[in-house]
Amino acid sequence: MAESSFSSSNQHLRIGTKDDRSSSFQKISEEDEYEVTSPTDRTFQTANTTAGTSSAGDNLFGGNAFSEGRSEAIRFNRSPFGDPSGDGYEDQDYTDLPEGDRPTGGLDQGFPNNYALGRRTSVSAESLNPTSAGADSWVPPYHPKSDEQISRLKVAVSNNFLFSHLDDDQFKTVLDALVEKPIPAKDIKVISQGDAGDYFYIVENGHFDVYIHPSGSVQPGADGMGSKVGSIGPGGSFGELALMYNAPRAATIVSVDPKSTLWALDRITFRRILMDSAFQRRRMYEAFLEEVPLLSSLKPYERAKIADALDAIKYPSGSTIIEEGDPGDAFYLLESGEADAFKSGVEGPVKSYRRGDFFGELALLDDKPRAASIVSKTDVKVARLGRDGFKRLLGPVEEIMRRTDYESNLTPSAA
């Protein structure tokens, strides 16, 4: 049956009719299929085992580790890639052993001697080091989109927590890299549990059911997908775990509606933008925390914990971030933009804040009301840490105060 292809830069992303559960389900094959397969795969190129044609270096693995014919006494190499003329070979007669006790591999199967046929399948991916110079040479993909597509896409990703901490440039890079994937029917497998993953998906419209099989992969039969454990609707996302941890797909995702729309982000862009930005974000927050008088005495690992617990929040110009007289429950770091502090009875701002400044840190010490109102002068982005999160990570604030003379560093401008 002919296969219908998605319009995508990945020519191997398609809807097929083959399915592991039943013929009523279609499946999207999202992975590239032209890569070298595992030696245990039946499509793997086998070595030439014809008598008289094998010599050192003739096979795929280098060195003549394969026998040219079947014999009663078989020569096995302790190292499957060694030199047959060396000491690594030994003559052993394994024909009297039960089949299950014989060394794995098989000279008549085209595998290296002692090849572990029963080993578990592994998943590997590129190594990304945010601090390496090679990261600067990476060029993100760009897929042109109409104004209408961009508008729809912004709505779809606006409430997705994975993108909440991205700055404007990073967010634009993600939008440019996303590819629209129409799902034209129901009962289509978008991803299958146990498969390798190349894409992260955002749901624009439609609904998708989530199935998990206890075996860790889809099995043959009517119940091969396992039990339904949930559903994903517009604005939701899936597929990030396989990309973040280089692990097989943790669930099977099946379309529910007759027509749905997904946006796909490739693995490289996902890891470069989302994971690298998290690294840079932590470094920035740790530097900020070193300048906060209350927190400057903390050990580096303690500041790293707080950095990971900060929440990024955006406010448009003219927004009241904290209100004078309200109970204090958090402190804020100003990531971008400008803000002013106002006190009742005082004309004009009493203090101005710019990138890297902080306010509201007194809320970590006591329950006194806010001493001033903080109003955004421009569009701003702040990092917020609540009192509960702080105490949960580091214990009571009083213990921290015993390590340092905080009162000597206390500024009257703190809100």
Rounded CA separation 192/168 (Å): 33
SS3 43: coil
Is position 370 annotated in a ligand binding site? yes
The DSSP H or E segment spanning 243 is helix 240-245
103, burial (CB in 10 Å: exposed 0-12, middle 13-18, buried 19+): middle
Is position 3 annotated in a ligand binding site? no
Beta strands, E only, 101-198: 179-183, 188-191
CA 193 vs CA 65, 225, 228, 297: distances in Å: 36, 8, 12, 47
- Strand 188-191 vs strand 252-255: parallel, antiparallel, or unpaired? antiparallel
Rg (Cα) of the chain, in Å, rounded? 30
Q: In terms of residues, how long is the chain? A: 415
Is position 35 annotated in a ligand binding site? no
Is position 286 annotated in a ligand binding site? no
Q: 248 with 194: CB under 8 angstroms?
A: yes
Q: Residue 267: which of 30, 12, 34 has the closest Cα?
A: 30
- Edge-to-edge, what's the strand order for the sheet holding 260-266? 179-183, 260-266, 199-205, 237-238
Rounded CA separation 343/347 (Å): 8
Tokens matching residue 131: 């601090």
Rounded CA separation 338/352 (Å): 7
DSSP for 287-342 reads HHHHHSTTTTTS-HHHHHHHHHH-EEEEE-TT-EEE-TTSBP-EEEEEEES-EEEE
Q: 53 with 33: CB under 8 angstroms?
A: no
Unique residue bearing structure tokens 């009192």? 387
Q: 177 with 263: CB under 8 angstroms?
A: no
Binding-site residues for 3',5'-cyclic AMP sit at 240, 249, 361, 370
Binding-site residues sit at 240, 249, 361, 370
